[in-house]
Amino acid sequence: MGKTTGFLEYSRKDGPVRPEEERIGDFREFHSLLSAGEQRQQAARCMDCGIPFCQAGVMIGGMVSGCPLHNLVPEVNDLVYRGQMSEAYRRLSVTHSFPEFTSRVCPALCEAACTCGLHDAPVTTKENERAVIEYAFANGLACEPVPAVRTGKRVAVVGSGPAGLAAAQLLNRRGHEVTVYERSDRIGGLLRYGIPNMKLDKSVIDRRIKLMEKAGVRFVVNADVGRNVSAAELVRENDSVVLCCGASNPRDIRVPGREAKGIFFAVDFLGSVTKKLLDTDFRKVPEELAKGKNVLVIGGGDTGNDCVGTCIRLGAKSVTQLEMMPKPPENRQTGNPWPEWPQVLKTDYGQEEAIRVYGSDPRLYQTTVKEFITDKRGHLKEAVLISLAPEKDETTGRLRMLPIEGTEKKVKTQLVLIAAGFLGSEDYVTKSFGVETDSRTNVKTAPGEYRTTKENVYAAGDMHRGQSLVVWAIAEGRNAAREVDEKLMGYTSL
């Protein structure tokens, strides 16, 4: 696949990125594509490797290696190399619902498993896919087919994040009447209000929603199922219901002073920023949320990084990011061989911007909060940090991070954002449908299946598998759609 000697002739080259000092002045996307000719060269680096781990999506060493969607990566890369972009789009569309989302926000599991990456830089598969889907939209190829025949079956999808949209897309293509219910004021779920605009421009979501509406999918916003929309009524009026509500129960920090004013869950903060931007058509930046404040972000993952980048754009005086675990190594260790996911240090866009603005990496490793301190009015003014030491649990074999007494230190902070992950689904939704949950509060199904303990009710995405990636949510939505279709029709062609 690709050019036989391409990986020897060409070095990896990523698309241009606006410099930090420029991009922190707005919320526009800052990563653009290479020229068509340059992208073809990058696709030419795809090797005829024999075993394309990039598209495997299998568990190796307890981690996923390759794409969970099983995208036909070498075939798409080969078509990009040959300049056959229309064919590349058709090939990519066989397995993928929304390349425009993952090509912007996915950590590229495909590239981590790329054979070329064993001794050199991996193929730019993520950017190749973005080039394909943007070409498709620019040239009128991107579409949602309108089913020629309707089955007469009705399906309700609860939640319009990546899992819900993927399930709705396939079920509508099959000919079922699909209605998507979203509790927020706009469609998109996590894509809309959990990911900042500079990472995923919301117009990218809107153009896909328009295509799905034209194809017959019905969207209902401000519909909080289990509260202002009856779960029992949805079950009664539809042949199937698919729950795709996400793992929207954030993990809290239980320390003295937690009730202080100025402490927010990261997802609520990010959503508030995006909503204010959208409500004013980006004419007004809600600087009042962080301007001049010393910000403390608790959590070192993608959401924590998004908080760092967002607060910089809002004019924060300083941003510090706490990470409980030890600092990862800069290079692969012998116990983490290819094609496992590389457990190495990653400096993302938010940290890059913090280094540029404040002069140092915002991350503090092996550190957590011991206490929050308020002023007389209850407003947050300081946080007491404490260092942590790793200790292996002899019973479970897991690494525990234990506080080191005597290492406490105070830092000034007026805004704390908790980005410590999510615990699972919200119980008001699961209880309203009467579905069982597991010990992690994820909706319970048989292994490898999506049917819940309630007849004709299915679950997919983070609500089903726990907090995960957008690409996994899309894969889950597609798989759940197949299972629903097979139950409704006796077989599935999806």
Contact yes or no for 73/115 (Cβ under 8 A):
no
**pLDDT score recorded for residue 61:** 82
DSSP string for residues in 33-61: PPPHHHHHHHHHT----SS-GGGT-EEET
Strands 240-243 and 457-459: parallel
Tokens of 16: 């241009």
Strands 294-298 and 415-418: parallel
**pLDDT score recorded for residue 1:** 67
Strands 399-403 and 240-243: unpaired
How many other C-beta atoms can be found within 10 angstroms of the C-beta atom of residue 279? 13
Q: Amino acid identity, residue 147? A: P
Ordered by start, the domain boundaries in the chain are: 6-138, 154-248+423-489, 263-418
d(CA 196, CA 199): 6
Q: Do domains 6-138 and 154-248+423-489 have the same CATH topology?
A: no
Mean pLDDT across the stretch 396-419?
95
Mean pLDDT across the stretch 115-132?
96
Q: Which CATH number fits the domain 154-248+423-489, given the four candidates 3.65.10.10, 3.50.50.60, 3.30.300.30, 3.40.228.10?
A: 3.50.50.60
Q: What are phi and psi of 216, to 5 degrees?
A: 115, -5
- 34 confidence band (pLDDT: 50, 70, 90): very high
Report the DSSP beta bridge partners of residue 58: 65
CA distances for 350 relative to 101, 328, 355, angstroms: 19, 18, 9
Dihedral angle of Cα 435, 438, 440, 442, to the nearest 10 degrees: -40
- 414 confidence band (pLDDT: 50, 70, 90): very high
**pLDDT score recorded for residue 348:** 97
Judge whether residue 48 has pLDDT over 80.
yes
Tokens of 406: 């005597």
What's the whole-model pTM score? 0.96
d(CA 380, CA 357): 24
267 backbone φψ class: left, alpha, beta (φ>0; ψ -120 to 50): alpha
- 450 confidence band (pLDDT: 50, 70, 90): very high
**pLDDT score recorded for residue 485:** 98
Domain 263-418 of CATH type 3.50.50.60: yes
Average pLDDT, whole number, for the chain? 96
Tokens 């009447």 sit at which residue? 177
d(CA 228, CA 244): 17
Judge whether residue 108 has pLDDT over 70.
yes
Strands 240-243 and 154-158: parallel
Tokens 């420029």 sit at which residue? 22
Dihedral angle of Cα 361, 362, 367, 370, to the nearest 10 degrees: 160
- 347 confidence band (pLDDT: 50, 70, 90): very high
For 299-310, letters b (16+ CB in 10 Å) and e give bbebbbbbbbbb
Q: What is the percent of the chain with per-residue pLDDT over 90, rounded to a whole number?
A: 94
**pLDDT score recorded for residue 153:** 98
Contact yes or no for 167/481 (Cβ under 8 A):
yes
Selection from 190, 192, 142, 181 nearest residue 159 by Cα: 181
Judge whether residue 36 has pLDDT over 90.
yes
d(CA 152, CA 129): 35
**pLDDT score recorded for residue 394:** 84
Dihedral angle of Cα 27, 421, 113, 62, to the nearest 10 degrees: 180
Q: Which CATH number fits the domain 6-138, given the four candidates 1.10.1060.10, 1.20.120.1200, 3.30.565.10, 1.10.8.60?
A: 1.10.1060.10
How many other C-beta atoms can be found within 10 angstroms of the C-beta atom of residue 84? 13
Contact yes or no for 332/325 (Cβ under 8 A):
no
